[in-house]
Chain A
Amino acid sequence: MTPTGISWNVVADVRQLLMFPFMVNAFRAGTIVAVIAGALGWFMVLRRQSFAGHSLAIVSFPGAAGAILLGISAMLGYFAAAIAAALVIAAIPRSLGGQPRSSESAIIGTLQAFALACGALFVSLYGGFLTSLTGLLFGSFLGISGSQVLVLLIVAAAALAILALIGRPLLFASIDPAVAAARGVRVRLLSTIYLVLLGCAAAATSQITGALLVFALLVMPAATAQRLTARPAASLALTIAFGVVTAWLGLAAAYFSIYPVGFYVTTFGFAGYVLAVAWTAARMRVRSRYAAAAEQPA
């Protein structure tokens, strides 16, 4: 069987998608990344730390570019840079409670711009590999090796195990830091651990969606799920499910077309979010109409 392009026969399409090992690896990596990004992204949306998450991904770009320049593994560069940046962000002093974190976002913004500039420098030092630059920024699914999938799997499993261990106190500290601290929760320590895990997730996600489009898997599934339900367990499960479906659809679409995978993953994520907003708005309308009808005397 030779690749023939997309058809209406779904079974044939799926068979075609999984015909080449590179595509199988892309699906494996995409699934792993979608799960870890979903789980950590869910807390990120809850903790209002999207800006920090985005910056961690941006910082992973010069990490990867620098690693390529030095001739070491780009994957190592991704993770090392994101984890280092997570520790820097965690070191920014922050007050407990609902005070605005203005100094935090200013420092993160400064860091992010400088990191992006360093990435540009590394790419130009390496000299003219513009296709790879596009891949670093906007995502690529070509050439993911079996050993890279294994590294992603190990990192994701470790991150998820730690997240499961700190899950409940992290939720407490995210919703209500002052009371959590009074009850003996180590709010600051949890925040540091969380940022390091988020760095891992952002670095892993960058490798599929590119550094600039990490929100496709970090924010969109969580934002969509949190729109639909306010039950923590259900919305976390929905987040991961949405992320995996988005990643699969995006990879499949990218396989059958010439455009970057980051575009497709992001577009499917965006479509899901818009549908969720429309659905909740429609449900509210129906409910209020029903309530108005119930109030009317018969």
Chain B
Amino acid sequence: MTRATSDAAARTAISEVIRFDRAAVRIAGRTIWSDVSLSVTPGEFVAVLGPNGVGKSTLIKAALGLVGLSSGSVTVLGRPAGSSGAQIGYLPQRRVFDPGLRVRGIDVVSLGGDGERWGVPFPLAARFSPSRRAANQRVHEVIEMVGATAYAHRPIGQVSGGEQQRLLIAQALVKRPRVLLLDEPLDSLDLPNQAAVAALLATICRDHGVAVVLVAHDVNPILPYLDRVTYLAAGRAACGTPAEVITSATLTALYQTPVEVLRASDGRLVVVGEPEAPARHTDRHSAAEGRP
């Protein structure tokens, strides 16, 4: 009970979930981006946009403390990045489980609750331990929240990409995180699944007060739900509401080359004249690959 109340106190005390302050990252001697300032407040839905290879994943990894900054600072829930563990839910980029992986979806989800704890779960623990029962209850709750009840007992390698993505979102939610960091979760999904997963994330964000930071290369599936975007390009970032950032003027200034944003009749945005992605993808292949 005391833990719950102190949790509640911590929840109300923090006004910023994530804060980057003039941050810069260098990997293998190359500056990925610099002078990035952004803040995410509780319950906000934020997208990180930009062309491939610009360092969007690196931004997420910096927030997790997996990548160090070369200058500036990043705080997560009022503490330095990397020290907030279970309060952050994380979905790394493009995870597709091997079709031969014979472990059920529900097992993968429940690892989100206690996967880092030493030991092994005792058989029949749920019959004797109330905390074990509560943990199982929570696992079923998040599976229902993401609408995965029908296939949670099938081997995770045998469900579709969209279903795996829902199970992974459930896994990230087990510990009631205050922020979800998702690296291209809509990638490799078909359009109906993109829309459905985007709507699911928006529901989690609105109804459960979980801030969502989502890396995407196409803004359109999430555009209706976005509070703010951070647009990374040419080693710098522009932050603000979608209406402020995804405009011809802002993106032209960011890219320093003429870029036009067109609005289709159905409301979708199309960015025209975006320079090609750089040939180096050092954020994806962290080994020091050829610099020119």
Chain A contact residues, CB within 8 Å of chain B: 46, 48, 95, 97-98, 164-169, 171-172, 175-176, 178-185, 226-227, 229-233, 235
Contacts and interface: CB of A to CB of B under 8 A. Distances in A.
Given A97-B92, A179-B112, A230-B154, 10 more contacts: A98-B95, A168-B114, A168-B117, A175-B103, A179-B171, A182-B92, A183-B90, A184-B85, A229-B102, A230-B104
Contacts of B101: 46, 175
Contact of A182 (B66, B102, B111, B287): B66
B107 A232 contact: yes
Contacts, number: 86
A169 B49 CA distance: 33
Contact of A175 (B66, B90, B111, B114): B111
A47 B244 CA distance: 47
Given A175-B111, A232-B107, A233-B123, A165 B118 contact: yes
Nearest to B183: A178
Contact of B115 (A164, A178, A180): A180
Nearest to A181: B66
Contacts of B118: 165-166, 168-169
A227 B100 CA distance: 9
A227 B102 contact: yes
Contacts of A184: 85, 116
A46 B103 contact: yes
B119 A164 contact: yes
Given A46-B103, A230-B104, A168 B115 contact: yes
B108 interface: yes
Contacts of A171: 111, 115
A176 B123 contact: no
18 contacts: A46-B101, A46-B102, A46-B103, A98-B96, A167-B119, A167-B120, A168-B117, A168-B118, A169-B117, A169-B118, A175-B97, A178-B92, A179-B172, A183-B90, A184-B85, A185-B115, A185-B116, A229-B102
A95 B93 CA distance: 14
A232 B118 CA distance: 16
Given A176-B95, A235-B102, A182 B107 contact: no
A230 B155 contact: yes
B177 to A, nearest CB: 11
Contact of A180 (B64, B86, B116, B154): B116
Contacts of A95: 286-287
Contacts of B115: 168-169, 171-172, 176, 180, 183, 185
Interface in B123-151: 123
B121 interface: yes
Contacts of B108: 175-176
Contacts of B98: 48
Interface string B144-188: 000000000011000000000000100110000000000000000
Contacts of B119: 164-165, 167-168
Contact of A232 (B64, B90, B92, B103): B103
The 5 closest A-B pairs by CB, nearest first: A172-B115, A167-B120, A178-B92, A226-B102, A230-B155
A49 B97 CA distance: 16
B85 A183 contact: yes
A77 B66 CA distance: 41
A182 B90 CA distance: 7
Contacts of A233: 121, 123
Nearest to B91: A179
A292 B121 CA distance: 39
Contacts of B90: 179, 182-183
Contacts of B64: 182
Contacts of B114: 168
Interface in B74-98: 85-86, 88, 90-92, 95-98
Quick one: which of B85, B92, B114 has the most chain A CB within 10 A? Answer: B92
A232 B108 CA distance: 10
A230 B103 contact: yes
Contacts of B95: 97-98, 176, 178
A172 B92 contact: no
Contacts of A169: 115-118
Contacts of B103: 46, 175, 230, 232
B92 A168 contact: no
B111 A230 contact: no
Contacts of B92: 97, 178-179, 182
Nearest to A185: B116
Contacts of A175: 97, 101, 103, 108, 111
B60 to A, nearest CB: 10
Given A182-B64, A182-B66, A185-B115, A168 B102 contact: no
A82 B83 CA distance: 38
Contacts of A180: 111, 115-116
Interface string B21-58: 00000000000000000000000000000000000000
A172 B111 contact: yes
B102 A230 contact: yes
